[in-house]
Amino acid sequence: MKSPGASLREWPYPRFIAHRGAGRLTPENTIAALRTGWQHGYRMFEFDTRLTADGKVVLLHDETLERTTDGVGPLATRSWDEVSRLDAGYWHSASMAGERVPDLDQAADWLLGCGGLANIEIKPCRGREVEAGVAVALAATRCWAGVEPPPLLSSFSVETLAAARQTAPDLPRGLLFGRPPADCVAQAVALDCVALHVDWRFADAALLRAAHAAGLRLLCYTVNDPAEAMRLREIGLDGLITDSVDRIAALD
């Protein structure tokens, strides 16, 4: 456990991070979204991961398939073979029809091919918290073997992050909160996280000081107003996650 006043670890990641790839301009959590964020100057990408019925790590935000694919029902009841054939782009626009749900291997291949960085959010289905943490940590270790910097793993689930830590202790982790509780820094420190991630509305100078004093970086999501993004940058936030890749420049 870090002691008060612990020194900050080296931070190899850009300050500005594209949310779900570029999840408004293109279908979220797809290779098209990553490509679009890259075209707007972003070099790090937050995306969501879940497990199929047969344990494949895929990029998807919701527990169910209806909102972002032409599939129906819970993802956890579908095999990777079924999910890989779904259309994840038709709902967004005609030009995106046929875009597929990628697995983590495909996302890693694309990112490594262009030098992009990853913030992999682990979203476990209820009852699969440990399984999800283990599966994502193993897949990330394999996909990014020998690569620096490694992907940053994040989750709202303490159980999931603990499982990821046990499986791949060298992969950096961030603990997510909406409204951060009073002990949010202590919780992140207890998990040996490198970062604390909070809703941008609760990211302020006081929380930044507390995080830094404990040796943590402070990231916020999902800030889409350019003026707010610049204000948070000016107070020193270490990472800002945004949908507005076309309105907020990816500054250092």
What are the tens digits of pLDDT across the range 203-239? 999 999 999 999 999 999 999 999 999 999 999 999 9
Distance CA 109, CA 204 (A): 36
DSSP 150: P
Residue 99 has pLDDT above 80, yes or no: yes
Structure tokens at 126: 């209820």
pLDDT of residue 43 exceeding 90: yes
Q: Quick one: average pLDDT of 93-103?
A: 97
Q: What span, in angstroms and rounded, lies between the C-alpha atoms of 43 and 91?
A: 26
Neighbours of 121 (CB within 10 A): 26
Q: Which residues pair with 155 in a beta bridge?
A: 175
Domains, the chain, in order of start with CATH, read 16-242 (3.20.20.190)
Helix (H) / strand (E) containing 197:
strand 195-199
pLDDT band at 7 (very low <50, low <70, confident <90, very high): confident
Give the span between the Cα atoms of 51 and 251, in whole angstroms. Answer: 33
pLDDT of residue 130: 98
Partners of 199 in beta bridges? 221
The pLDDT value given to residue 252: 84
| 13 CA to centre of own chain | 13
Arithmetic mean of pLDDT, 37-55: 98
How far is Cα 131 from Cα 139, in angstroms, rounded to an integer?
12
Tell which wins on pLDDT, 169 or 23: 169
| pLDDT higher than 90, residue 172 | yes
- Its pTM surpasses 0.75: yes
Mean pLDDT in residue range 178-207: 98
pLDDT for the residue 146:
96
Which residue in this structure is represented by tokens 């936030």? 237
Q: In this predicted model, what pLDDT tens digit does every residue of 47-80 receive, in sequence order?
A: 999 999 999 999 999 999 999 999 999 999 999 9
Q: Are strands 44-51 and 57-59 parallel, antiparallel or unpaired?
A: antiparallel
Query: Residue 3's pLDDT is what?
Result: 47
Instruction: Give the mean pLDDT of the chain.
Output: 96
Nearest to 154 by CA among 170, 136, 127: 136
pLDDT digits (tens, 9 = 90+) for 118-167: 999 999 999 999 999 999 999 999 999 999 999 999 999 999 999 999 99
SS (H, E, C) 30-78: CHHHHHHHHHCCCCEEEEEEEECCCCCEEECCCCECCCCCCCCCEHHHC
Instruction: Quickly count: other Cβ atoms within 10 Å of residue 63's Cβ.
Output: 14
pLDDT of residue 5: 53
Average pLDDT over residues 8-27: 94
Positions marked catalytic: 19, 61
